[in-house]
Amino acid sequence: MAINELIEGYVSRQEAKQKKLTRYFTGKSCKHGHIVERLTVNGACCKCASLSAGIIQQRYRKEKRYNFDIKSLTQEQLKIILLYIPTTGEWFWKKAVSKKIKVGRKAGTIDGNGYLIIGIYGKREYLHLLAHLYMTGKWPKDEIDHKDRNRANCKWDNIREATSAQNKCNKQVQSNNKLGIKNIYFDNQSQRYCVNIQYENTRVKKLFATLDEAIEFRNEKIKEIQGKFSTQESLSLFIPDENIWNDLFEDS
What are the distances in angstroms from CA 221 to CA 177, 205, 229, 231, 249?
20, 11, 13, 11, 27
Helix, coil or strand: residue 160? strand
Residue 105 backbone dihedrals phi, psi, to 5 degrees? -80, 150
What is the rounded CA–CA span in Å between residue 91 and residue 94? Answer: 10
Single out the residue of 188, 166, 161, 204 nearest to residue 248, CA to CA: 188
User: What letter represents residue 62's amino acid?
Assistant: K
What is the rounded CA–CA span in Å between residue 53 and residue 159? Answer: 46
User: What pLDDT score does 2 carry?
Assistant: 46
Beta strands in 67-113 (DSSP E): 82-85, 90-93, 106-107, 109-110
Helix, coil or strand: residue 216? helix
What Rg value do the Cα atoms of the chain yield, rounded?
Answer: 33
> Which stretches of the chain score pLDDT less than 70?
1-9, 52-67, 232-252
User: What pLDDT score does 118 carry?
Assistant: 93
User: What pLDDT score does 15 carry?
Assistant: 84
172-248 folds as 1.20.5
Tally of helices (H runs) and strands (E runs) in the chain: 7, 13
Helix, coil or strand: residue 68? coil
> What is the number of other CB atoms lying within 10 angstroms of the CB of residue 47?
16
> C-alpha angle with apex 186: 184 to 190, nearest 5 degrees?
125
What are the distances in angstroms from CA 55 to CA 48, 49, 65, 66?
11, 10, 15, 17
User: In the chain, which residues fall in CATH 1.20.5?
Assistant: 172-248
What is the rounded CA–CA span in Å between residue 43 and residue 45? Answer: 7
Q: Which helix (H) or strand (E) holds 18?
A: helix 13-18
Question: Partners of 118 in the beta sheet?
Answer: 125
Q: Is the pTM of the predicted complex or chain greater than 0.85?
A: no
70-162 folds as Homing Intron 3 (I-Ppo) Encoded Endonuclease; Chain A (3.90.75)
User: In the chain, which residues fall in CATH 3.90.75.20?
Assistant: 70-162
